[in-house]
């Protein structure tokens, strides 16, 4: 066999040896590859039990949400939204996690509330999502999803009847987190990965607070965001307020 033929035979042998299950040898590198779009940071690794429970434990013992919101439900729902925390750098992933939990912390009082305190009908005339006169579409879940059109669209996407059974969000923690992710991915995610800053996410979640509408609420959201950024080891970036 010629030298060229011998080299080819060796390469074929190595290719046959290497496979998906290879853990050592010439095909194995001990240096992990960096996942695309996430910069090496995964949401699961950032939202540890300590991080999640650090928020939850600040809720009072009598809070309904204390036994409703769990990291397990969060991760279960996350599985349906694989683009959350993706699309930018590792720092973008951390900022998105910090922003998400900043808003959730503010909306639920550190996971205390499942439903809005000041309940109202929140029905807007809609041919596509006509309100059930016997139901109310006030805030429920981690992001406090509100209005009939959001319940209808979220329900269609997730797989529950948001118009006729909006209370599902307050009864099923996984669905509750799915509504939060649904709202986030449709209204907020792009603002983070495009570098518009945390202030832009406040405008997306509750724009009525911006421009002096509710300065204390804006300041509270910014405070939670900067706190979580510090915990995750990332700078909060610019344009924090709105």
Instruction: Show which residues are catalytic.
Output: 107
Task: Please state, in angstroms and rounded to a whole number, the distance separating the CA atoms of residues 115 and 44.
Answer: 26
Task: Please state, in angstroms and rounded to a whole number, the distance separating the CA atoms of residues 41 and 39.
Answer: 6
Backbone angles phi, psi at 145, to 5 degrees: -60, 135
What Å distances lie between residue 107 and 114, 116, 122, 220, CA to CA?
A: 9, 9, 17, 11
Task: Please state, in angstroms and rounded to a whole number, the distance separating the CA atoms of residues 209 and 221.
Answer: 11
Which parts of the chain fold into alpha helices (H)?
A: 3-17, 43-46, 49-56, 71-78, 90-108, 148-158, 168-171, 173-187, 189-193, 198-206, 215-232
User: Do the beta carbons of residue 84 and residue 96 sit within 8 Å?
Assistant: yes
Look up residue 114 and give its two tokens: 């499942």
> 10 Å Cβ neighbour count for 87?
17
Look up residue 170 and give its two tokens: 């307050």
């Amino acid at each position: 066999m010629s030298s060229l033929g011998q080299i080819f035979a060796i390469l074929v042998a190595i290719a046959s040896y290497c496979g998906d299950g290879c853990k050592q040898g010439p095909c194995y590198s001990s240096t992990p590859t960096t996942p695309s779009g996430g910069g090496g940071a995964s949401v699961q690794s950032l939202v540890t039990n300590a991080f999640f429970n650090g928020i939850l434990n600040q809720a009072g013992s009598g809070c309904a949400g204390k036994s409703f919101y769990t990291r397990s439900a969060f991760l279960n729902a996350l599985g349906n939204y694989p683009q959350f925390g993706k699309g930018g750098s590792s720092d973008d992933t951390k900022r998105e996690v910090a922003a998400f939990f900043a808003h959730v912390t503010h909306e639920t009082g550190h996971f205390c509330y499942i439903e809005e305190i000041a309940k109202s009908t929140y029905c807007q005339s809609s041919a596509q999502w006509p309100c059930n006169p016997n139901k109310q579409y006030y805030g429920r879940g981690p992001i406090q999803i509100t209005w009939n059109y959001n319940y209808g669209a979220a329900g269609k996407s997730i797989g529950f009847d948001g118009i006729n059974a909006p209370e599902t969000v307050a009864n099923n923690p996984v669905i509750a987190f799915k509504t939060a992710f649904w709202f986030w991915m449709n209204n907020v995610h792009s603002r983070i990965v495009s570098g518009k800053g945390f202030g832009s996410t406040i405008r997306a979640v509750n724009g009525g607070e911006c421009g002096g509408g509710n300065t204390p609420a804006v300041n509270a959201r910014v405070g939670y965001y900067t706190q979580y950024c510090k915990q995750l080891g990332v700078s909060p970036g610019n344009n924090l307020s709105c």
